[in-house]
Amino acid sequence: MPRVVVDVMPKTEILDPQGKAVHGALHRLGFDRVVSVRQGKRFEIELEGDLTPEVVAGIERAAGSLLANPVIEEFTIHVEG
Amino acid sequence: MRIGVVTFPGSLDDGDAARAVRLAGGETVSLWHGDADLHGVDAVVLPGGFSYGDYLRCGAIARFAPVMQPLVGAARAGLPVLGICNGFQILCESHLLPGALIRNDHRTFLCRDQRLRVDSVATAWTSAYETGTEIVVPLKNGEGGYVADERTLDELEGEGRVVVRYLGGNPNGSHRDIAGITNARGNVVGLMPHPEHAVDTLTGPTTDGLGMFESVLGSRVAP
């Protein structure tokens, strides 16, 4: 079954409080060489049928309208399997 | 005047919003997220809460609820719409208002009575106030940090579209202390604080929030 993966990350200029919290926790655990952490989301989308360019373009539209908010996030798409 | 209050799965403050409308002299109409039309209402309130569990991003799934399709069209055509808290997040996700709301910079849920200044009275929802009026209404959210790029922020300031601003310290990291904004036409307003919780002294810190509902209803009686 073809799978399209969409990775969503907060834009670099947008504050990422969750990443900061994880960063702080890593320091408390002794990972003191960690300089920064940013947290994003990964969507694994399984599809039926052939993975045509049209299908991938459709996922790209879905990523730009629903999965990511382009005001504060950016996304990348790749095909797996 | 009939004001619709939308209930999404996970809405919390639809009851208080409807009560505020009634106290201000309006008639309320309950709108369901699955409704495909607005039942002829004259204005709409998108209430606070956690629509669809805040899954994905706050307001991101509500944006695509059936009721939002006619609402977005009507708002663009001038229907007065007030988005409170989660409703503000939905308006931003719908691109009816610019920018976005992100997690509070201090990472904690904040609930307190918040001092605000009304900076724009040229909207459907603030015309009953005087410019510069200070009000106190509850603020309660975990993701209330208003962000937008510098150009958008300059545009909002230049066009007088910052409706309310935080006073006495920025509670969540919002750019330029912005608590609420409006669209270019002034019919769509979104804000994070909760005017519907400040409509009578029994349940709220003040009655300062009533003016928002009286504004749209044109029902404020001169003191």
Which residues of B fall within a CB distance of 8 Å from A67?
Answer: 56
Domains and CATH numbers, chain A: 3-80 (3.30.1280.10)
Chain B contact present for A18, CB below 8 A:
yes
Q: Given pLDDT bands bounded at 50, 70 and 90, which one contains residue A1?
A: confident
Q: Given pLDDT bands bounded at 50, 70 and 90, which one contains residue B221?
A: low
Predicted confidence (pLDDT) per residue in B139-173, tens digit = 999 999 999 999 999 999 999 999 999 999 999 99
Q: What is the percent of chain B with per-residue pLDDT over 90, rounded to a whole number?
A: 97
Check B173 against A66: CB less than 8 A apart: no
Query: Could you tell me which CATH number the domain at B2-217 has?
Result: 3.40.50.880
* Res A81: pLDDT: 73
The predicted model gives A3-14 an average pLDDT of 96
Q: Given pLDDT bands bounded at 50, 70 and 90, which one contains residue B219?
A: low
B110 Cβ contact partners less than 8 Å away, ≥ 6 residues apart? B104, B139, B140, B141, B142, B144, B171, B172
In chain B, what are the domain boundaries?
A: 2-217
Which residues of B fall within a CB distance of 8 Å from A15?
Answer: 102, 105, 145, 147, 173
Chain A to chain B, count of Cβ pairs less than 8 Å apart?
Answer: 36
Predicted confidence (pLDDT) per residue in A30-65, tens digit = 999 999 999 999 999 999 999 999 999 999 999 999
Which residues of A fall within a CB distance of 8 Å from B55?
Answer: none
Average pLDDT value for chain B:
96
